[in-house]
Structure 1
């Protein structure tokens, strides 16, 4: 009996027409049956936002004879995954891939990332999931050098699965394929954004602000995603969405709560 091809859900946060998702579609279509549900406009830095106070629209944008079903969604990346699972897919996907994001989602950026939140939402649904990001914010970024690595990582997840409650955050340095030294399994670096706001005035005299800032890596470890990327490696960070600080439970239980 012939085994069905893996079913692969593809989404992103840069929008369904972004070059990054088009590159991801081209790779995943070689590995299985692909269904695309992605935002109809850029949704970067949306985190795990969902739409609750306005309507959601879903439009099929592929023709009936197209081998790949594609849908655009008026909502967030997380909305896209929720709609795909509950309204479009006939069975649970074997894999969800999100990206390829135009720009890094390493370190603390994972908290703000729409790309990774889509992957996390898939993980919550019990779907093995990967978020892919390239350290190049240019809309016309070159994704060709990383396609073979994307394929390899996806195949390993399809083959081995992922632990329950874990998704992968994969970041690529902006390099040619031959310049990339390999893949490193890493921890998330301790880093933060030092924010500042550019305060301006409208012609009517009202204050408005542009968010700016500097990314500061406070972590000197050589096992982090930031170190890997700075040293020409692909970083792969296993991320879990149980936010419990388990290591503090014992300490908190020593406090005198009942006095």
Structure 2
């Protein structure tokens, strides 16, 4: 075990524990969605991205179920299929797969869709609470806002009974803005 972040686990494994680079990194499966904007906040995806940065084909898996007693068993065959396909076909360099599995019984999952990340946001709020010792703490709450009605997105796929597979990249450069910023007077 590692007391650090999921990305730290990958770093420790690669630099100290493994005799060679693995053929693939499978991160997760975790509780809760890493779809749309949630990919930014995901420890599961940070581990997959860390491995991807090191040149290891990587996939982050998430089950869209926040219950502590969530049943992950129905995801097993789908995960095996996706990992097998990734090993057989390869994942392009500098690309990591973000896979989200809907909270549905296996027989109700319609299939697997390759999608794009939906545009979405969180309207966050903090709920101020007091613990039994009289100390204040804050509980993050909020509402998810789907800003994208496209039928080619991860959110659409999940809402319609599909597993979503989004190829992600770790170069976050807004290339379309570079020319505009070069007009600024720095």
TM-score between the two structures when normalised by the length of structure 2:
0.94
1:257 maps to what in 2? 185
Q: Distance in 2 between the 1:200 and 1:183 partners?
A: 41
Going from structure 1 to structure 2, the CA distance change for 1:208 and 1:178 (only over 3 Å counts) comes to closer
Going from structure 1 to structure 2, the CA distance change for 1:201 and 1:148 (only over 3 Å counts) comes to closer
Tell me the CA shift for residue 149 of structure 1.
0.8
Q: Distance in 2 between the 1:105 and 1:123 partners?
A: 17
Q: Determine helix, strand or coil for the equivalent of 2:10.
A: helix
Q: Determine helix, strand or coil for the equivalent of 1:163.
A: coil
Please identify the structure whose Cα radius of gyration is greater: 1
Q: Determine helix, strand or coil for the equivalent of 2:47.
A: helix
Query: Equivalent residues in 2 for 1:59-74 (5 A)?
Result: 72-74=1-3
Going from structure 1 to structure 2, the CA distance change for 1:249 and 1:200 (only over 3 Å counts) comes to same
Q: Distance in 1 between the 2:40 and 2:95 partners?
A: 15
2:121 maps to what in 1? 192
1:159 maps to what in 2? 88
Tell me the CA shift for residue 239 of structure 1.
0.7
1:141 maps to what in 2? 70
Q: Structure 2: 5+ residue runs without aligned partners?
A: none
Name the structure with the higher helix share: 2
Q: Determine helix, strand or coil for the equivalent of 1:194.
A: strand
Spell out, residue by residue over 1:175-226, the C-alpha distance to the aligned partner (whole angstroms, 9 max, x if none): 1222111111111111111111112346776543211111111111111100
2:7 maps to what in 1? 78
Q: Which has the higher contact order (CA 8 A, sep 6+)?
A: 2
Tell me the CA shift for residue 251 of structure 1.
2.9
1:123 maps to what in 2? 52
TM-score between the two structures when normalised by the length of structure 1:
0.68
How many pairs does the alignment contain? 186
Q: Determine helix, strand or coil for the equivalent of 1:73.
A: coil
Quick check: 1:244 aligned with 2:173?
Answer: yes
Q: Distance in 1 between the 2:87 and 2:185 partners?
A: 47
